[in-house]
A and B are shown apart, each in its own frame.
Chain A
Amino acid sequence: MNWGEITVDALRTSFGVTAAAYALAAIGLNLQFGFTGLMNFGHIASLAAGAYGVAIPLEEGAPLWLALLCGLAASIVVSLFLGLPALRLRLDYLAIATIAGGEILRLILRSRWAEPVTQGVYGIQQFSDSFFDLNPYPTGPTDRIGIGDFSYDGRSLWVMTVCWSLVIIGTLVVWMLIKSPWGRAIKAVREDEYAARSLGKNVFFLRMQSFTIGGVFGALAGMLLAFDRNVNPDFYLVVFTFLIYAVMLLGGAGTILGPIVGAILYWFMFEWLDGFVLSSIQDGWYGEALEESDAGPIRFVLLGLGLVLLIVFRPQGIFGKKEEVLLSDS
């Protein structure tokens, strides 16, 4: 077993495009769930809105800036569609309504009659040229940038650069919002909406604002994932929302740096376990009991175990404050 290689591989993934996109999506979810207390189980719908919103205009030949605006607009429309009815409900219904809303959007996107626009189950490919035209890094087949094995090809590095920059900007924006009186008001809404109302806060409006801004962060993450890969409706399954939840809870819901740390840590653990399980099988640690094809499921089992242990021993996440968890909501 090559421990060094496993670790470097894991490190590479933990700073890669996927981790960056999850961090960005988790920033949005953290604003909604961590700070405002909105149980949004359909966050993936915002990613889908961003991805399709940017991919469809680009396919039709629109310039990049216009496509980006379309992606943001699409996510705002989706947030309004989900939020306007659902945020008037009691908060536990919000969870159900957002799951349903997310699924409905996905089913529409992959439906036959939407095929002329969304290309249905096939998804949209090869639309991101105008994004990669801006890439300043060399993209030759042998060009790799980094130190030794901790290196990326120019294409990935370009997406990563944009994505991590957005993560940093997003973190600063959220930090500024949360420290402001507006942030105090949404935290009050999270704690006790009736108390907030008795002090003259428009709870519905505050929730709507937070929900929409969170959705915009989700859309940005969706766009960057779309540039990096393709757009396919089955990427936007409800389960992926829960991966974003895992990332956010790992770092600590309701903390400023939680999403970043959570994303890096999550993907490090994920990739490290993957490498570890695979090479331990190859080294014959378990004799005939396990084959290489078992590695995939086992790493998920171990990852799940890790998350459970985290919840038991550090329920507030890496960055959360223990006191906050101990305060009961009675």
Chain B
Amino acid sequence: MTRSSVAVPDSSPAPDLSSVASAPGASKPDPILCVKQFRKSFGAFTAADVDYLEIQRHAITALIGPNGAGKTTLFNLITGFETADQGSCLFNEHEISNLRNWQIARKGIVRTFQHTRALTKLTVLENMLLAAPRQYGEKLLRSCGWKWRGQDASNTGKAMDLLDRFSLAHMADEYAGTLSGGQRKLLEMARALMAEPELIMLDEPLAGVNPVLGEAILEHIKDVCAGGTTVLFVEHDMPAVQAISDWVVCMAEGIVIAEGTHAEVGQNPLVLEAYLGGSVPRGTVSVSDSESESQTSAEEPEPAASQATSGNQKQQES
């Protein structure tokens, strides 16, 4: 299945989540990922303690929650970048919590990082080519010789297509280290897509990206999902969450406190309580409105949502 074809039909087979109860741990019609009693503590502090969570296949699921809620920790646990103290994680009904992170990636779960990890001394194009799955020439003995060139050439075509969609094509031959923070975010997402994952996990894909491009990225995410990839993403920008997610999971203090459609979660008193000020996930603001908000300077006191976003931008620059 290629996701590089630009024209994706808008009529994606929308997953039917209407019959799913909006309660933490609700079971979905067709879960791709199933997390059971996953727990991770750092010393006495429990960063994540997820009782039961299913992620619907072919849907866009948003993971929200205040800073320090344990969203990134849950990502790390699922993708094997942290080992859980206990619990299990089923991907397509296969246990993956005992696998190493790179094995999980090969199974089809590719994640991006909140703090971008661009390979600075590789070019943008090399970053993309690196991610291509099942590369013939990546085995040491096969790398001597020319047999891998055909595959590499077709991968290059695909990579350029993707870069084009993420407005990075003109940077293809530059070192990734010369990209700006937002461009690195884009590169990382494009690179993850290059790996043709079955489940893509994006940790704050919009942090530091300008509103216009942000809107384009949201469209990409929808396209990606329509192309058959399941999307799980963390985002603090509520209008964006509202715009694209089929399902929203809210975490606070390591625990999943609410699940449901955006509207359901937005009205959940537990969720409002979890966010200081309680005004965030109401989702009444239109996408463009709030994005111009988050563009304003980080020093200005803002509603919690954009404070969270700008806080993250600051973290990234440090």
Q: Do A and B make up one complex?
A: yes
Using CB atoms and an 8 Å cutoff, list the residues of chain A in contact with chain B. 173, 176-177, 180-185, 187-188, 190-192, 194-203, 209, 323-324, 327-329
Contact A187 B140 (CB under 8 A): no
Contacting pair A183 B143 (CB below 8 A) = yes
User: Which residues of the partner chain B approach A190 to less than 8 Å between Cβ atoms?
Assistant: 121
What chain A residues lie within 8 Å of B195 (beta carbons)? 199-200
Question: Is B12 an interface residue, CB under 8 A from the partner?
Answer: no
Complex Cα distance, B141 from A173, in Å, reads 12
Other than the given A197-B102, A209-B140, 17 more pairs (CB < 8 A) read A180-B148, A181-B129, A181-B152, A184-B129, A187-B121, A187-B122, A188-B130, A194-B117, A197-B101, A198-B111, A199-B192, A199-B195, A200-B103, A202-B102, A203-B102, A327-B120, A329-B120
Across the interface, name the chain B residue whose C-beta is closest to A202: B102
Q: Are A198 and B79 in contact (CB under 8 A)?
A: yes
Q: Which residues of B contact A191 (CB under 8 A)?
A: 119-122
Contact present for B144 and A176 (CB under 8 Å): yes
- Inter-chain contact B101/A180, CB cutoff 8 Å: no
Tell me whether B175 is interfacial, beta carbon within 8 Å.
yes
Nearest A residue to B201 via CB reads A198
Where the two chains meet, the residues of B that have a C-beta atom closer than 8 Å to any C-beta of A are: 79, 81, 100-103, 105-106, 110-113, 117-122, 126, 129-131, 133, 135-140, 143-144, 148, 152, 175, 177-178, 191-192, 195
Give the residues in chain B near A192, CB-CB below 8 Å.
117-120
| A-B contact list, 22 entries, CB within 8 Å | A173-B144, A176-B143, A181-B130, A181-B152, A182-B143, A183-B143, A184-B126, A184-B129, A185-B138, A195-B113, A195-B119, A196-B102, A196-B130, A197-B81, A197-B101, A199-B130, A199-B191, A200-B195, A323-B175, A327-B121, A327-B177, A328-B177
Q: Is the CB–CB distance between B130 and A327 below 8 Å? A: no
Determine the chain B residues whose CB is within 8 A of the CB of A323 once the complex forms: 175, 178
Q: Which residues of B contact A197 (CB under 8 A)?
A: 81, 100-102, 105
Contact between A200 and B106, CB atoms less than 8 A apart: yes
Complex: A330 Cα to B144 Cα, angstroms: 33
Complex Cα distance, B117 from A191, in Å, reads 9
- List, in ascending order, chain B residues with CB within 8 A of A185's CB: 130, 138
A181 and B148 contact, Cβ closer than 8 Å, known pairs A199-B105, A200-B102 = yes
Name the 3 nearest CB pairs between A and B, nearest first. A327-B177, A180-B143, A182-B143
Please measure, in the bound complex, the distance between the C-alpha atom of A323 and the C-alpha atom of B122, giving whole angstroms. 11
Q: From B191, which residue of chain A is reached at the shortest CB distance? A: A199
A267 to B191, CA, bound (A): 44
Q: Name which of A185, A187, A192, A199 has the most chain B CB atoms within 10 A of its CB.
A: A199
Complex: A203 Cα to B101 Cα, angstroms: 10
With contacts A181-B135, A181-B148, A182-B138 taken as known, whether A198 is within 8 angstroms of B113 at the C-beta atoms is yes
- Measured between beta carbons, the chain B residues less than 8 angstroms from A184 are 122, 126, 129-130
Q: Is the CB of B105 within 8 A of A324?
A: no
Which residues of chain A are near B126, meaning CB under 8 Å?
184, 187
Give the distance in Å from the alpha carbon of A177 to the alpha carbon of B138 in the complex.
10
Residues of A within 8 Å of B119, CB to CB, are 187-188, 191-192, 195-196
Contacts of B148 in A (CB 8 A): 180-181
Cβ of A199 and Cβ of B121 under 8 Å apart? no
| In the complex, chain B residues whose CB is within 8 Å of the CB of A198 | 79, 81, 101-102, 105, 110-113, 117, 192
Give the distance in Å from the alpha carbon of A302 to the alpha carbon of B140 in the complex: 42
Which chain A positions have C-beta within 8 A of B144?
A: 173, 176-177, 180
Indicate whether A194 sits within 8 Å of B102 (C-beta atoms), given known contacts A199-B191, A199-B195. no
- Centre residue among A173, A184, A196, A203 by max chain B CB count within 10 A: A184
Closest beta carbon of chain B to A187's beta carbon, Å? 6
